[in-house]
Structure 1
Amino acid sequence: MRRRTVTDRDWAAAPDPVLALAQRDLAFYARTRDRSRRMHYATELGALAATSSTVVAAGLHAPAWLTALIAGGAVFFTGVRQLFSPAARWVVCGQSHETLRRAVDRYRLLPPAERDTAARATLQATIEEVGTNELREWSDTQGQASGQTSGQTQGGALGQGAAPPSA
């Protein structure tokens, strides 16, 4: 996976900073959603291929080292699925993206003259609500993945890039 450097313009200096902030967050959620979807499919297909190949290799009396290697691949994909929870991340980012996209669309449908303080406050409240919900869902998913009760995380787990970059 290639890491891309996000070159954000300074959203605070934009003519409409709240809209610029929302668009930056939309881009983050879209990238994360798409990456999680690809990772989900890759881990599911990898696990399916490895587990079915293990059975075939054993049935064909393949060397023990080959059968063990293929079975190790199945264990690897299962571990990746449990550790990174790409399916849950895909859903959370998809929900966040859709909620924020709808709020941005409502804001942009307003004539520029009507994009007053109240409209900006509504969009900003939606941005903050989406961020809070996304972080809570991610935290709950991480808590469930590590065997903890919902809402609790291990020390430092929230700092692993779950939320959009703070402004």
Structure 2
Amino acid sequence: MRRRTPYTDWLNSPDPVLALAQAELAFYERVRNSSRRWYRLTELGALATASSTVVAAGLSAPAWLTALIAGGALFFTGLRQVFGHGPRYVLAAQSHETLRRAVNRYRLLPADERDERARGELLAAVERVGDEELRQWVEQRNQTSSPLGPTPGGPPLP
């Protein structure tokens, strides 16, 4: 998941770690909501066009119409596979929820207890969420792409 522009306003905040965590939280919320909308759109589009293809063929619709609807089904299937809005939605929702809980724990502390240790724990939570997101993203990319050359550590391809 990419960020459109680097966000550095948190550096000038009275509590920069909290501001950073809230900025990250807002980012994951935007990505989660956008991915959820795109996921629903692609799934409904694939479902509607695939079922319409069957209905059009059953009603003996002109071949060009049936082919056009089938092309739409293929398009939505490709859109689903290329952009992976479903996994992106799940990953952003998981990251958002984990970070939301860490921010809530920090904000529930009385102001005088928000010391360096508490800020360090919040910063560690922000970094863990980022690390986990990156790890899962790499894992998903490795599952969906095939290597173009020899497998690292394996025998050369014939």
**TM-score, structure 2 normalization:** 0.87
Q: Specify the alignment match of 1:121 in structure 2.
A: 120
In the alignment, structure 1 residue 104 sits paired with structure 2 residue 103: yes
Partner letter of residue 100 of structure 1?
A: L
For residues 76 and 45 of structure 1, what CA distance do their matches in structure 2 show?
A: 12
Partner letter of residue 71 of structure 1?
A: A
Displacement after TM superposition at 1:9 (Å): 6.5
Q: Specify the alignment match of 1:159 in structure 2.
A: none
**TM-score, structure 1 normalization:** 0.82
Partner letter of residue 133 of structure 2?
A: E
Q: Specify the alignment match of 1:35 in structure 2.
A: 34
Q: Specify the alignment match of 2:13 in structure 1.
A: 14
Q: 1:3-82 residue pairs with structure 2 within 5 A?
A: 10-82=9-81
For residues 80 and 145 of structure 1, what CA distance do their matches in structure 2 show?
A: 14
Backbone CA RMSD of aligned residues: 1.7
Displacement after TM superposition at 1:6 (Å): 6.9
8 Å Cα contact 1:83-1:145 kept in structure 2? no
Residues 19-59 of structure 1 show CA distances to partners (whole Å, capped at 9, x for unaligned) of 00000000000000111111111111000000000001111
Aligned length: 145
Partner letter of residue 134 of structure 2?
A: L
3-state secondary structure, aligned to 2:136: helix
Partner letter of residue 24 of structure 1?
A: A
Q: Identity percentage over the alignment?
A: 62
Q: Which of 1 and 2 has greater Rg?
A: 2
Displacement after TM superposition at 1:147 (Å): 3.7
In the alignment, structure 1 residue 90 sits paired with structure 2 residue 89: yes
Q: Which runs of 5+ in 1 are unaligned?
A: 149-167
For residues 109 and 99 of structure 2, what CA distance do their matches in structure 1 show?
A: 16
